[in-house]
């Protein structure tokens, strides 16, 4: 079975600083990988996804992620954090017809 590990349940960065949220996956087949964001009291919004092709994937709100097969990683980055980026972020992998989620990383933005 596939799985996802997100390193750090809470990450704090200063406004304007680099955001780096770490995700490692385990998969026996080429994975389809996703990052979702969840704002307080809301559902999940798709930030970006990797299926095939280019390993650097650009998403909404200035986020991007790079698929590194050799490291089994799919880390999420953003060059400059905004206060509005404060939310819960979930890395996920597709297995058959379902999505397996990590436990999430709560991103705090410091003024």
Partner 1 sequence: ETGVTQSPTHLIKTRGQQVTLRCSSQSGHNTVSWYQQALGQGPQFIFQYYREEENGRGNFPPRFSGLQFPNYSSELNVNALELDDSALYLCASRAGTSDFYTQYFGPGTRLTVL
List of residues contacting partner 1 (CB under 8 A): 32, 34, 36, 41-46, 49, 51, 90, 92, 94, 96-104
Q: How far is the CB of 79 from partner 1 (least distance, A)?
A: 25
Q: Which residues contact 12 (CB under 8 A, 6 or more apart)?
A: 107, 108, 109, 110
Q: Which is nearer to partner 1, 17 or 44 (CB)?
A: 44
Q: Which is nearer to partner 1, 51 or 55 (CB)?
A: 51
Two tokens at 62?
């200035």
CA distances to 10, 63, 66 from 71, rounded to whole Å, are: 22, 20, 11
Q: How far is the CB of 33 from partner 1 (least distance, A)?
A: 10
């Amino acid at each position: 079975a596939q799985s996802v590990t997100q390193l750090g349940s809470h990450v704090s960065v200063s406004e304007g600083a680099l955001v780096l949220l770490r995700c490692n996956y385990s998969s026996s087949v080429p994975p389809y990988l996703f990052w979702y964001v969840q704002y307080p009291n809301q559902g999940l919004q798709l930030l970006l996804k990797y299926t095939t092709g280019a390993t650097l994937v650009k998403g909404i709100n200035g986020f991007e992620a790079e698929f590194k097969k050799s490291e089994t990683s799919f880390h999420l980055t953003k060059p400059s954090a905004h206060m509005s980026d404060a939310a819960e972020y979930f890395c996920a992998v597709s297995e058959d017809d379902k999505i397996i989620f990590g436990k999430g990383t709560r991103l705090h933005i410091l003024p």
